[in-house]
């Protein structure tokens, strides 16, 4: 006589193996998803970000120098301010990136009564005249950490400066990202 359990053993083992395989696959998929979600490969430099893919060309230092001078003439504090004009991939388009770096001495408080938004808008208008299609502004805190970055097409800034766009319509064109929310909050509290 044979025992009734004997033939079921391999089935159980097979079921366990299948179950563990599925569980393992789920864990792997979730792990990969989490890594991609938090852009770990890009942050570790394993995969290039879109910025690295498209903004790897040679900066136009002459245009950047002209724009920096324009900012200075507008009364905007230029200590800790860096301006970069970069070609966008292999296209005719260009992007200007303005870095306001508090760790290098940038201080909104030194704007001598000038409206910082107006100064930056003027820079964007000048940039558009130079054939620059998009502007980005990055703010870094005293530790050099990137707090906020915003971007807007320069033609929107031109339309705004000419009164064809309202504040609200301009803001619709603006994209914003925050790198460090607690630090950005602390900055705003200091501004009070």
Residues near another protein (CB under 8 A) are 36-39, 49-60, 82, 84, 86-88, 90-93, 95, 97, 99, 108-109, 111, 113-118, 133-136, 138, 140, 146, 149-151, 167-168, 171-172, 174-179, 181, 184-185, 188-189, 191-192
Q: From the CB of 22, what's the least distance to another protein, in Å?
A: 22
Say how many C-beta atoms besides its own lie within 10 A of residue 63's C-beta: 19
Q: From the CB of 39, what's the least distance to another protein, in Å?
A: 6
Nearer to another protein, 94 or 126 (CB): 94
Q: From the CB of 63, what's the least distance to another protein, in Å?
A: 10
Nearer to another protein, 17 or 185 (CB): 185
Nearer to another protein, 70 or 81 (CB): 81
Nearer to another protein, 121 or 126 (CB): 121
Q: From the CB of 16, what's the least distance to another protein, in Å?
A: 32
Q: From the CB of 129, what's the least distance to another protein, in Å?
A: 16
Nearer to another protein, 16 or 53 (CB): 53
Give the DSSP per-residue string, 119-150.
HHHHHHHHHHHTT--EEEEEEE-TTS-EEEEE
Residues 6+ apart with CB under 8 A from 127: 63, 67, 85, 96, 135, 154
């Amino acid at each position: 006589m044979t025992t009734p359990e004997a033939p079921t053993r391999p089935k159980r083992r097979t079921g366990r193996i299948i179950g563990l395989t599925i569980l393992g696959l789920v864990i792997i998929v979730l792990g990969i998803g989490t890594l991609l979600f938090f852009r770990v490969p890009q942050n570790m430099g394993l995969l290039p970000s879109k910025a690295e893919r498209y903004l790897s060309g040679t900066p136009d230092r002459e245009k950047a120098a002209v724009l920096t001078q324009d900012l200075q003439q507008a009364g905007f504090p230029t200590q800790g301010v860096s301006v970069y004009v970069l070609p966008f991939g292999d296209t005719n388009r260009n992007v200007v990136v303005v870095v306001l770096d508090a760790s290098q001495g940038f201080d909104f408080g030194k704007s001598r009564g000038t409206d910082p938004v107006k100064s930056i808008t003027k820079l964007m208008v000048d940039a558009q005249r130079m054939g620059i299609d998009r502007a980005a502004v990055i703010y870094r805190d005293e530790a050099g950490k990137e707090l906020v970055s915003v971007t807007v097409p320069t033609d929107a800034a031109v339309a705004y400066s000419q009164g064809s766009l309202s504040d609200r319509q301009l803001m619709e064109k603006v994209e914003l990202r925050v790198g460090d929310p607690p630090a950005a909050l602390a900055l705003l509290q200091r501004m009070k």
